[in-house]
Amino acid sequence: MTFTTVLFYILATVLVVAAFRVITAKSPVTAVLFLILAFANASMIWMLLGAEFLALLLVLVYVGAVMVLFLFVVMMLDVKMEVLRAGARTYLPLGLLIGLVMVVEMAFVLNQTWGNAGPAVQMADDFNNTRALGELMYTEYVYAVEIGAVLLLVGMVAAISLTLRRRKDVRYNNPGAAVRVRAKDRMRLVSIPSEPRVDSKTEEKQ
C-alpha cells in the first residue's frame, strides 16, 4: 500500500465524518464549519486525482466565498433550533426513503464503474488539465456553460429583487432630494425683540 493510498483513505474518512456532522450538528455554525472541512478534504482528494484546477476552484469559490458568506449569514440570523426541529419527525420517513434511494443509486454507479474499470489513462508530463477543461467548456459544452450563466444571473437578479422590497419600518434617504435642498428650506431666521437690561440695584429694590 503506497503513501498516496493511505492519504486517500485518511482524507476520505475525514470527509465522511465531516459530512455526517454537517447533518447531525445541533448548532448551525458548527454545521457550516464541518461543511468547510468537508470541502477542504474533497479538494485534497481531487488534488490527489490530478484535478488541480477543480481542487483550487473548490477552495476559492466554495470555502473562500460561499461558505464564509453562509457562516456570516447564519451568525447574524436569529436561528431558533427548536422551531426548525419541530417538524423533523414528520418528514423523517420521507427523508430516510430519499436518502436510501440515493445511496442505492450511488452504490450501483460505483459498482459499475469499478467493475468495468480498465487501466489508468497515460498522460503526458506536460499535460495541462486546466487548458483541456477550458477547451471542452467553451467548445463542446459551450451551450451548457451559457445556460448555467443565465441561470446564475436569474438567481442573482431574483435575490436582489427579493431584498429590495419596500419596507414600512425603515426610513429611506433620497439622495436626489438631499442634493436639491436649499438653505432657506432647512433654516429660518426669526426676529426676537431683546429685553431691556435690568441693573442689579433695581433687582434689589424689587
CATH classification of the domain holding 3: 1.20.120.1200
Q: In terms of residue numbers, what domain contains 149?
A: 128-164
pLDDT tens string for the chain (206 positions)? 677 788 888 888 888 888 888 888 877 778 888 888 888 888 888 888 777 788 888 888 877 777 777 777 766 666 666 666 666 677 778 778 877 887 777 677 666 655 555 555 676 777 777 788 888 888 888 999 899 889 989 988 887 777 666 666 667 777 777 778 777 777 777 788 877 776 666 555 55
Whole-number pLDDT of residue 109: 63
Query: Which set of grid coordinates corresponds to residue 70?
Result: 453562509
pTM: 0.53
User: Does 182 map to a domain?
Assistant: no
Last residue of a domain, one of 48, 80, 112: 80
Distance between CA atoms of residues 203 and 206, nearest Å: 5
How far from 181 is each of 50, 64, 103, 185, CA to CA, in Å?
63, 44, 66, 7
Distance between CA atoms of residues 35 and 194, nearest Å: 74
Whole-number pLDDT of residue 143: 92
Q: Count H helices, E strands: the chain?
A: 11, 0
Phi-psi region at 196: left, alpha or beta (left = phi > 0; alpha = psi -120 to 50): beta
Name the DSSP class of 170: S
Last residue of a domain, one of 24, 59, 80: 80
When divided into structural domains, the chain yields a total of 2
User: Does 75 map to a domain?
Assistant: yes
Both ends of the chain: CA-CA distance in Å?
Answer: 111
- Residues 62 and 42 sit within 8 Å (Cβ to Cβ): no
pLDDT tens digits for 136-190?
888 888 999 899 889 989 988 887 777 666 666 667 777 777 778 777 777 777 7
Give which of 44, 24, 13, 141 is closest to 132, Cα–Cα.
141
Distance between CA atoms of residues 177 and 104, nearest Å: 63
